[in-house]
Structure 1
Amino acid sequence: MHKWKVLIAAIILVVVFTSNPLFIRASSDIDIRTILKDEEDDVSILFFDLPEGESALIHTKDEFTVLIGTGSEASFDELSERLTRLGITVINQLILPKLEDTYMGGVSRLLDERKVEQIIVPDQGLKWFSESYQEYKIDIISWEEEGLYQPHPALQFSVMESTSSMMPALNLDVDIGCGHRLFLANEASLELEKEWMTKDLSTVNVLKVAEYGTEKGTGEDFLVSSDPEVAVIFNLHDHTVSASVRERLQETWIDTYETKQHGTILIKVNETDYELLTIRF
């Protein structure tokens, strides 16, 4: 069990982590931006509760911002509202782990609305994406499978193995420089998980479950090998998370959070610990 430092107004309480984390409802009189500016935190990670699709924000103490996915086109208004409430006007890197609507449907509107300095896509999709978005004259690069990239001193991304399908994906093992680890699985495949398990995954803290919790992936062997404390599942319209996946997560004692049920999942990381909060805003 981990201990979680929970900030409520000016009172700091140290509590044992349970399945009921601190919940914040960000009403109009609360400046949600202060959540990202805690001097004790090195990195904040938000998994947004969009109506459909995946979008996560990584924000460092010195204001370096990485947005991973935009959610679907139909969800962009909700994403835009959350970025505005957080005070995010510049995105240093936009990572698109899959070139599908529920991962990148809001790209055009995001580029029209905010400054994006660089876009990162799977290597196999670079040519198509560059041609499709050449009008924006933005820096577009690809990350290669098994490549290692460090866009910021506190963030190191390892690109894990992918399938050789027509729909390339970036499966990302993210090392937070203060000693924590995030695994962003974007392909649900038991065979692919066997390849991932050839790496040492034992220090993974948080797992982003692949493909909205479909039964095709998130196998028991992979969960035992990585042994994360927390799993996050994004919402897909008219999709139900596999009962088998839920059961496997429960049986391996992983605290599971679904954005549809819990809202935005915020993980605040410092050198010694991390805390998890759920937010509705």
Structure 2
Amino acid sequence: MIHLTRSWYRYLYIFLVVTLLCLSMGGPSSEAFTPKNLRKMIPDEGMKVYFIQLKSGEATFIQLENGEGMLVDTGSKTSQKELIRFLSEQQIEHIHHLVITSQQEEFMGNFELIADLYEPQHLYYPFYLDDLFTSLELTAQAELHPLIEGDQVTLDEACAIKVFHPQPRLSLSLQDNSLVFQLVHGDQCFLFTGTVSKKVEKELIKRHDLRSHILKVSDFGSTNASSEAFLEEVDAHVAIIFYRSADTIEPEVMERLESSWMDVYPVKKHGHILVVSQKEDYRVFVLPS
């Protein structure tokens, strides 16, 4: 499996700097190493999953192989400019699928703006929010898909969503009712965990095969989630952590993630994280914002 880690980029950077210094001694034609050159390494083929660096909240843009775009969550309103800037940089004109995992502000703060600008054709959300979304005028043009444990959505020939949560019996805790799903592309699996706590993690372990290559860490890296048992069951290679204003990633959680032999990428530190899935393997790219 091809997997580009942070250390890989550090060594590559040092190698390129030394090489360019050597070339510069022989003439002025050498080209500086920049993020733009790094982007040239990104393959054209495959499904692209961008974990977007935002000031606060979560948003993930997925470019499917059939050309359709999918956005998972819209971040907090305080991150509106960063989200729109990213979509503009990627020349996104239309979002075919929009997934909202929670009604919390950090997840759907920019929902109305995205629905207005990009007119999604399909809107997915936890089943208990059906009354909310059916009442919104902005969703009149979209096909609504309330999701519950056991649902499966086919996105294209090689890609599907498997819904693990919420269960029919809801929790009193808002964060424990968020949508948990696995995005499957060929042999590669991405696990999106919303903000569920250790309590829900125990239920997920009992009820589902959680093994995934990429883990979107629950609840912004707080100690409420990411138990050792859960991380062991998921057995991921890469962990992505979004940022919420005024929060810091708990050292205890970072220690558990790294002890599980994961490469951990907090977007606040690294920028946008791009994972390119080519069905049989994947590659990770760090794209400074």
| 1:84 aligns with one of 79, 82, 88 | 88
Q: Which residue of 2 aligns with 1:12?
A: none
Higher gyration radius (CA): 2
TM-score normalised by structure 1 residue count? 0.85
Higher helix residue share: 2
> Which of 224, 234, 246 is residue 238 of structure 1 equivalent to?
246
Structure 2: distance between partners of 1:50 and 1:77: 9
Instruction: Find the partner of 2:189 among 181, 199, 219.
Output: 181
Which residue in 1 is equivalent to 2:279?
271
Q: Which residue in the other structure is 1:143 paired with?
A: 147
Farther-moved stretch of structure 1 (91-100 vs 107-116): 107-116
CA deviation profile, 1:153-181 (whole Å, cap 9, x unmatched): 222111113352363311011111x2100
From the superposition, tell whether residues 271 and 135 of structure 1 become closer, same or farther in structure 2 (CA, over 3 Å). Answer: closer
Identity over the aligned pairs, expressed in percent?
23
Where does residue 20 of structure 1 map in the other structure? 7
Give the match for residue 128 of structure 2: 124
SS in 1 for 2:279: coil
Q: Distance in 2 between matches of 1:35 and 1:54?
A: 26
How far the C-alpha of 1:25 sits from its partner, in A, is 5.8
Report 1:56-205 matches (<5 A): 56-131=60-135, 133-139=136-142, 140-162=144-166, 163-165=170-172, 167=174, 168-176=177-185, 178-198=186-206, 199-202=208-211, 204-205=212-213
- Amino acid of the structure 1 residue aligned with 2:7: N
CA RMSD, aligned part only? Answer: 2.2
Cα contact 2:188–2:213 (8 A) shared by 1: yes
Equivalent residue for 1:3? 2
* Higher percent of residues as strand: 1
Aligned 8 A contact 1:64 1:92 in 2 = yes
Question: What's the offset of the Cα at 1:136?
Answer: 4.9
1:256 is aligned to 264
Note closer, same or farther for the CA distance 1:110–1:25 as it changes in structure 2 (3 Å cut): farther
Distance (Å, rounded) in 2 between the aligned partners of 1:111 and 1:200: 33
Unaligned runs of 5+ in 2: 14-32
Q: 2:59 aligns with which of 55, 60, 77?
A: 55
* In structure 1, C-alpha distance between the alignment counterparts of 2:172 and 2:134, rounded to whole Å: 20
User: Which residue of structure 2 lines up, in the alignment, with residue 11 of structure 1?
Assistant: none
Change (3 A) 1:21 1:62: farther
After superposition, the Cα gap between the structure-2 partners of 1:114 and 1:244, relative to the gap in structure 1 and judged at 3 Å, is same
Checking the alignment, whether the CA contact within 8 Å between 2:164 and 2:204 is kept in structure 1 is yes
CA distance in 2, matches of 1:25, 1:146: 45
Question: Cα–Cα, structure 1 residues 79 and 21, in superposed 2: closer, same or farther, change >3 Å?
Answer: farther
TM-score using structure 2 length:
0.83
Instruction: Name which of structure 1's ranges 59-68 and 89-98 shifts more when overlaid on structure 2.
Output: 59-68
Three-state SS of the structure 1 residue aligned to 2:6 is coil
